[in-house]
Amino acid sequence: MLSRLAPRIAVGRPALAALRAASTSAPAAKPAEAGAIKEGPERDLVNFPRRVRPELPDRVRLGFIPEEWFQAFYKKTGVTGPYMFGTGFLTFLFSKEIYVMEHEFYTAITLFLFGALLVKKVGPGLSEYLDKRIDEYEDGWREYRANQTDGLVAAIEEEKKQQWHAEGQMVLFEAKKENVALQLEAAFRERQMTVYNEVKRRLDYQVDTQNVAQGFQQKHLVGWVVDQVKKSITPQQEQDAIKQCLAELKGLAAKA
C-alpha cells in the first residue's frame, strides 16, 4: 500500500497524505530479521522494550479519522459516541458561524470527493507500483548485506584455515628440529666411530710393531743361544752323549 511510502512524503503533499489516510488495512507483523540487534545484559527489555517502526499505518475510518480515536470514545460513550460528538461539534461550529459555509466550503467538499475518487481509482495501482519499487530497493540492500556477510564469513573461515596452517607449520618446524638433531647425533656418532677406528688402527700398529720386534729378538736370541751351546760342546762330549742315549734306548727296549 501507499501507506509505506506516505509517512515519508506526506508533509507538504496533501494528495499523498490523502492517499495515506485512505488506507484501512491493519499493520502487518514485521518479520524477524536474521541479524537482529543483540542487547547488552544490562538492558531491561521488559519495562523498556525497543521501539519498532511500523511498516503500515493504523486503521482509519471515514477515510481519514484514526481508529484509536473511536476506541477512546467507546470506553466512555459507547459505539455511537464518536459519531454524536462529531455531529454535535460540526453543528456547533456551523450554528455559531465559527466555520462559515461559503463557496470555499463547497470547493473543499468537491476537492474531498475528487481526492477520494482519485484514491479509489488510482491509489491501488500507484500503491502497488511504489510498494514494488520499495521491495526491490530493500531486496537490493538485503542482497548486498547477504553478500557482505558471506564475504566476511568466507574471510573468517580463510583466516581460521590460515591459523590452522600456521599451527601445522609449528609442528613441521618441531619435526624439522628433531630431524636436524638426529642428523647432528648421527654425524657426532660417525665422527666418534672414525676417531675410535683411527686410534685403534694406530694402537694395533704399535702392538704389531712390538710383536714383530719381540719375535725378531726372540728368534735371534734363540739362534744365538743354540749357536753358543753348540760351540760349547766338544766332539768327545757329543760322542759320549750319543753313546749314553743309545744305551738308554737299549735299556728301554729290553724292559719293553
**Strand-strand pairing, 65-66 and 60-61:** antiparallel
Task: For residues 190 and 186, give the distance between their C-alpha atoms in angstroms, rounded to a whole number.
Answer: 6
Examine the pLDDT at 75 and tell me if it is beyond 70: yes
Where does the pLDDT of residue 37 fall: very low under 50, low under 70, confident under 90, or very high at 90 and above? low
Given a cut of 90, whether residue 63 has pLDDT beyond it is no
Let me know: does 25 contact 56? Beta carbons within 8 Å: yes
User: What is the rounded end-to-end Cα distance, in angstroms, of the chain?
Assistant: 153
Q: Which of 9-13, 59-63, 234-238 has the highest mean pLDDT?
A: 59-63
- Angle, nearest 10°, between helix axes 81-95 and 67-77? 100
Regarding pTM above 0.75, the answer is no
Alpha-carbon distance of 96 to 239, in angstroms, equals 193
Mean pLDDT of the chain: 80
In the structure, what pLDDT confidence band is assigned to residue 38 with cuts at 50, 70 and 90?
Answer: low
What's residue 36's pLDDT? Answer: 57
Distance CA 188, CA 20 (A): 93
pLDDT for position 146:
92
Q: What is the DSSP letter of 65?
A: E
| pLDDT of amino acid 53 | 79
Cα–Cα distance, 14 to 122 (Å, whole number): 15
CA distance 84 to 70: 11
- Interatomic CA distance for residues 10 and 64, integer angstroms: 13
State the pLDDT at residue 225.
Answer: 82
| Contact criterion met (CB below 8 Å) for 67 and 25 | no
Q: Which three cell numbers stand for residue 114?
A: 475528487
Write out pLDDT tens, residues 156-209. Answer: 999 999 888 888 888 888 888 999 999 999 999 999 999 999 999 999 999 999
pLDDT of the residue at 207 = 92
Pick the residue with more confidence: 31 or 74? 74
Question: What's the pLDDT score for residue 186?
Answer: 95
The whole-angstrom separation of Cα 69 and Cα 60 is: 9
Average pLDDT over residues 8-23: 38
pLDDT above 90 (res 16): no
Residue 249 has pLDDT above 70, yes or no: yes
Mean pLDDT lowest for which of 42-51, 127-136, 143-152? 42-51
pLDDT on residue 168: 81
Q: Kindly tell me if the per-residue pLDDT of 20 is higher than 60.
A: no
